[in-house]
Amino acid sequence: MPFINGNVKVEELDHGRWKLLEALNYQGERDLFKVPAGFVTDFASVPGLFTWLVPRYGRFTKAAILHDFLCDEAKEGRFIRSQADGSFGA
């Protein structure tokens, strides 16, 4: 299923944290997921030692942002964490 937005627009807050300047929308099989502007992400959580092999952002940036958002939703009881983890291939 596709992301609806074109480019991701973010502002760096500090080393490793970024704020979305525009909402990010993903059309799932049944549901539309909306990551709101202002959401803070660290992109992909990759230990520093391995970022040369697996970058924190790039090809999977949108999926990493969606995953971070869904994990936060799961912490608040609005989503199931295992489903958030399964969404990372989005």
What pLDDT digit, counting tens, does each position of 44-58 carry? 765 555 555 555 566
Structure tokens at 53: 């092999």
pLDDT at position 25 over 60: yes
The pLDDT-based confidence of 22 (bands split at 50, 70, 90) is very high
pLDDT at position 80 over 70: yes
The DSSP H or E segment spanning 12 is strand 10-14
Predicted TM-score of the model (pTM)? 0.77
Can you give the three-state secondary structure of 15-59, one letter per residue? CCEEEECCCEEEECCCCEEEECCCCEECCCCCCHHHCCCCCCCCC
Q: How do the domains of the chain map onto residue ranges?
A: 10-89
Cα–Cα distances in angstroms (integers) from residue 26 to residues 1, 11, 16, 38, 88, in the given order: 8, 20, 23, 17, 12
Mean pLDDT along residues 56-77: 82
